Amino acid sequence: MAGADVTTAAGTRAAGERRLRPYLLFIWPALIVSSAVIIFPWIFTIWMSLNDWHIGSKQVFIGVDNYVALATNRRFLESIGHTIYFTILAVALPMVLGTISALVFHKKFRGRGFFRTLFIMPMMATPVAVSLIWTMMFHPQLGVLNYFLSLVGLPPSEWVYSPNTVIPSLILVEIWLWTPFVMIIVLGGLASLPTEPYEAALIDGASQWQMFWKITYPLVLPFLVVALIMRTIDALKVFETIWVISNGGPGTSSEVLNVYLYAQAFAYNQVGTASAVVVVFFAIIVALSLVLLWARQKAKWN
């Protein structure tokens, strides 16, 4: 009996392998394309980061010297600080304002569909087009923002032309551009909430704040986490807005990692250094993403 079972199992495996072979013909092309488009560029980037390579000169292998140099490069370290500062503001403020907007637009009122459409219109424009519009608005003499300040008796601001106000000014663009994105995600969560807990809370005499904090917030929290993860990764990778509006200036006061990377690769032709920045930048994004995903699983959000 045991021998018959072994023979049957072997025959079953052989039959399964024969059925699997035709499907492999469809899998291999995808694996080859993925390797060519994703895996090979990363391997090549890591290899370039281990070399001293200026465009137009000979490539010289130097090991981890590029990484050691970055660890003591003041401009690179400042760009990390600018990136963290920018990311915190560019994530926190759209998250708060997007959640408030979702709560407002979730309620039924006359013209809700029209105002929803109007609110999400910034998402339809490209970041470069949005940046060009805000560049004109930020102009100290001709910009409309300083005109609005004068209407309420406030002094004009230098906006993106001052190291002290450049990043907060750029955050205004991020708020205008990405608050609708958060709102849409939270609105999707609110639309899926059951009505029974709210009916029971009304019978018990709960206030609007109590219903939000005890019912709405816990139920919509998974959607907030999704928006948080996506916004954090996107804010870390910001480039177009800063490059078009401030070009990383004044000086290097708004130079984030992507702008620093661009300068090293295309302004100074330091391909090896730029590749090392790419590797470090990717490691930061992956580490932060893993932390956020771990926190999500730890809290047992479904």
Per DSSP, the three-state class of 277 is helix
Mean pLDDT of the chain: 86
- What is the reported pTM? 0.85
DSSP string, 42-89: HHHHHHHHTEE-BTTS--EE-TTHHHHHHHT-HHHHHHHHHHHHHHHH
Give dist(CA 221, CA 249) in Å, integer: 37
Percent of residues, the chain, with pLDDT higher than 70: 90
| pLDDT exceeds 70 at position 110 | yes
- In sequence order, the β-bridge partners of residue 54 are 270
pLDDT above 50 (res 2): no
Instruction: Catalogue all structural domains in the chain, each as residue range(s) with its CATH number.
Output: 2-49 (no CATH), 67-298 (1.10.3720.10)
Q: Find the mean pLDDT for residues 6-28.
A: 60
Most distant CA atoms of the chain, gap in Å: 96
Residue 159: pLDDT band (50, 70, 90) is very high
Check if the beta carbon of residue 245 is closer than 8 Å to that of residue 86: no
Which residues, 6+ apart, have CB-to-CB distance to 87 below 8 Å?
A: 232, 235, 236
- Give the per-residue pLDDT at 15: 55
Q: How confident is the model at residue 65 (pLDDT cuts 50, 70, 90)?
A: very high
Q: Residue 77 has what pLDDT?
A: 94
What pLDDT shows up at residue 6? Answer: 45
More confident residue, 56 or 250: 250
Contact 46, 275 (CB under 8 A): yes
In this predicted model, what pLDDT tens digit does every residue of 234-271 receive, in sequence order? Answer: 999 899 999 999 999 899 999 999 999 999 988 888 99
For residue 122, the model assigns a pLDDT of: 86
More confident residue, 27 or 245: 245
| Neighbouring-strand partners of residue 61 | 51
Residue 84: Cβ-neighbour burial (10 angstroms; 0-12, 13-18, 19+): middle
Of the candidate ranges 26-40, 69-83, 181-195, the one whose mean pLDDT is the lowest: 26-40
Instruction: List the single range of 18-32, 86-100, 116-130, 264-278 with lowest mean pLDDT.
Output: 18-32
SS3 for 104-125, per residue?
HHHCCCCCHHHHHHHHCHHHHC
Amino acid at 267: A
